[in-house]
Amino acid sequence: MTLVHVALVLAVWLGLWWLNTRLAAQARTRWLVPVLFGVTLLLIWELAVRLFGVSPVILPAPTAIWARITSSAPILWTDFVQTIVKGALTGYLLGCGAAGLTAIAIDRSPFLQRGLLPVGNFVAALPIVGIAPILVMWFGFDWQSKAAVVVVMVFFPVLVNTVAGLQAADAMQRDLMRTYGASYRQTLLKLRLPAAMPFVFNGLKIATTLALIGAIVAEFFGSPIKGMGFRISTEVGRLGLDMVWAEIAVAAVTGSAFYGLVSLIEKGVTFWHPSQRG
């Protein structure tokens, strides 16, 4: 029996793969390829769980997860507001804002630039998630401590990228601004900041996923009785894996949407950049 099941799963996989190669060959149907790939994964998952009788404690089927999402929407919504809206989003805005201002301060002073930048580069590569227990102790269990973790996590990547971006305008363009008699402020606003935008958005996009991770990780070190990290850790303890997967689905969709939103803004702001053409 098992052999037949394996063959069936493989047949579905190969069939859809063959269809995908056909679709990929034609320009008109190309957008279908990633969609079909995702559908294939879900289908194989569902099939495998049903055919092999995988226990829902180990891996619930996609349909079971969907049923859980629809039936416990209010809980998911409270967790979403607590973790993402209050924790991650507040931290993201504060952290990116602070990093932008610091970057301009660094840009004004060559001494700071040479001193702070190596330190910033170094800190950006460190496992900053580890500060979560400390910040939870300082700022308490509620969302403020989660926002603080997010601020620290997104600060350095955005800072390093923005400082690099402010160097992006080349000497010729800066000289031109000088011949116009432009002040530092004017040069910054009209030349340097626009030229820095591709780099800035690179940092902002990295920071979107960091913000989500930071907010959820921090909840493992103590949280009120709501929030995605809290829910995941308690549901894992109660073997409520369908709820865990429901939270993961919400986190994944939110993360993709957040990333997509920042990319959309990027497309609007840096339409002139070569990487956005064609």
Partner 1 sequence: MRNLLPVLTVLAVLLLVWYGAAIRMNSQWTHDQAARAGEEVSFGALVADTLSQERPKLPAPHQVAAEIWKTTAELRPTSRRSLVYHGWVTLSATLVGFGIGTLAGIALAVGIVHNRAMDLGVMPWAIASQTIPILAIAPMIIVVLNSMGISGLIPKSIIAAYLSFFPVAVGMVKGLRAPDQMQLDLMKTYNAGGAETFRKLRLPSSMPYLFASLKVAIAAALVGTIVAELPSGATRGLGARLLSGSYYGQTVQIWSALFAAAALAAALVGIVGALERGVLKRMGMAR
Residues of the shown chain interacting with partner 1 in the complex, contacts defined by CB under 8 A: 17, 20-21, 23-25, 30, 33-34, 36-38, 41, 57-59, 111-116, 118-119, 122, 125-127, 129-134, 136-138, 208-209, 212-213, 216-217, 220-222, 228-229, 232-233, 236, 239, 241, 244-245, 247-248, 251-252, 255-256, 258-259
How far apart CA 236 and CA 29 sit, in angstroms, is: 41
Minimum distance between the CB of residue 191 and partner 1, rounded to whole angstroms? 26
Q: Closer to partner 1 at the Cβ: 84 or 96?
A: 84
Minimum distance between the CB of residue 156 and partner 1, rounded to whole angstroms? 12
Minimum distance between the CB of residue 196 and partner 1, rounded to whole angstroms? 21
C-beta separation of 134 from 169 below 8 A: no
Q: Closer to partner 1 at the Cβ: 26 or 183?
A: 26
Q: Closer to partner 1 at the Cβ: 177 or 246?
A: 246
How far apart CA 149 and CA 131 sit, in angstroms, is: 7
CA distances from 250 to 62, 80, 168, 186 (A): 13, 8, 38, 44
* Tokens 């416990």, located at residue: 72
How far apart CA 278 and CA 7 sit, in angstroms, is: 43
C-beta separation of 140 from 158 below 8 A: no
Q: Closer to partner 1 at the Cβ: 97 or 115?
A: 115
